[in-house]
Chain A
Amino acid sequence: GQQLNQSPQSMFIQEGEDVSMNCTSSSIFNTWLWYKQDPGEGPVLLIALYKAGELTSNGRLTAQFGITRKDSFLNISASIPSDVGIYFCAGFSPYSGAGSYQLTFGKGTKLSVIP
């Protein structure tokens, strides 16, 4: 099946610092999504990207859909303690099966913020 390589696996940063994480794939994706998962909860959608080159912001979050359609990044500016959690990239691939309904997930980036 399709695979997404997400990096870094974990990050320890000081409060107020900016954060950057990314996902890459060997094959193209039609849609890129970024989710955040808090402990004991399911992932919550942060940002959705629908076309190559698209740059989208949501508050302190900024994400981009790579021009090759094989990568995406997520930036968090001026991190705060509540940014702690696991961030997942996910995507819909035209090769995921009928209707391309199957989301493929990266393995996540665990973010820890030091006050």
Chain B
Amino acid sequence: GAGVSQSPSNKVTEKGKDVELRCDPISGHTALYWYRQSLGQGLEFLIYFQGNSAPDKSGLPSDRFSAERTGGSVSTLTIQRTQQEDSAVYLCASSLAPGSSYGYTFGSGTRLTVV
């Protein structure tokens, strides 16, 4: 597609429920990243995918968080047993190559609210 597409744009869930957030990167972009943006904070790195390589999961805050990328394209971020502190905007980005000099192209994000 023309840009990075994320769905849903907004998600309200009850504490303890699982949620899945979807990211469709720009066609041809091999690198895909997930970031989390809490209110008034910068962007916190969560996970990185590059081609068929093992993902870098070093930013995932707990084992309740997981992500996969199927067929080198669409990615899903799953949060199990959601907690109120998981409320944030989850941003996905893609780039032509890792560490691209052009930076990343971001989607509009999914605003997650855990009640």
Chain B, residues 94-106, CB within 8 Å of chain A (1/0): the string is 0000110111111
Asked if B99 and A107 sit within 8 Å, CB to CB, the answer is no
A99 at the interface (CB under 8 A from B): yes
- Give the A-B pair count, Cβ closer than 8 A: 63
Knowing A41-B108, A42-B4, A42-B91 are in contact, say whether A101-B103 is a contact too (CB < 8 A).
no
Q: Bound state CA distance, A100 and B43, in angstroms? A: 17
If A42-B4, A42-B107, A107-B41 touch, whether A48 touches B99 (CB-CB below 8 Å) is no
Task: Write the chain B residue with the least CB distance to A40.
Answer: B108
In the bound complex, do residue A42 and residue B99 qualify as a contact, i.e. CB atoms below 8 Å apart?
no
**Which residues in window 39-81 of A have CB below 8 A to B?**
40-45, 48, 50
In contact, B103 and A48 (Cβ under 8 angstroms): yes
Chain B 10-35 interface mask (CB, 8 Å, partner A; 1/0)? 00000000000000000000010101
Interface size on B, residues (CB 8 A): 26
User: Chain B: residues with CB nearer than 8 A to chain A?
Assistant: 4, 31, 33, 35, 40-43, 45, 48, 50, 56, 58, 91, 93, 98-99, 101-109
Q: Can you show 29 pairs from A to B with CB atoms below 8 A apart? A: A42-B4, A42-B93, A42-B109, A43-B106, A45-B102, A45-B103, A45-B104, A48-B101, A48-B102, A50-B101, A88-B42, A90-B43, A97-B56, A99-B50, A99-B98, A99-B99, A101-B31, A101-B48, A101-B50, A101-B98, A101-B99, A102-B45, A102-B56, A103-B45, A104-B45, A105-B42, A107-B40, A107-B41, A108-B41
Given A42-B108, A100-B99, A103-B33, 4 further pairs, Cβ under 8 A:
A48-B103, A97-B56, A105-B35, A108-B41
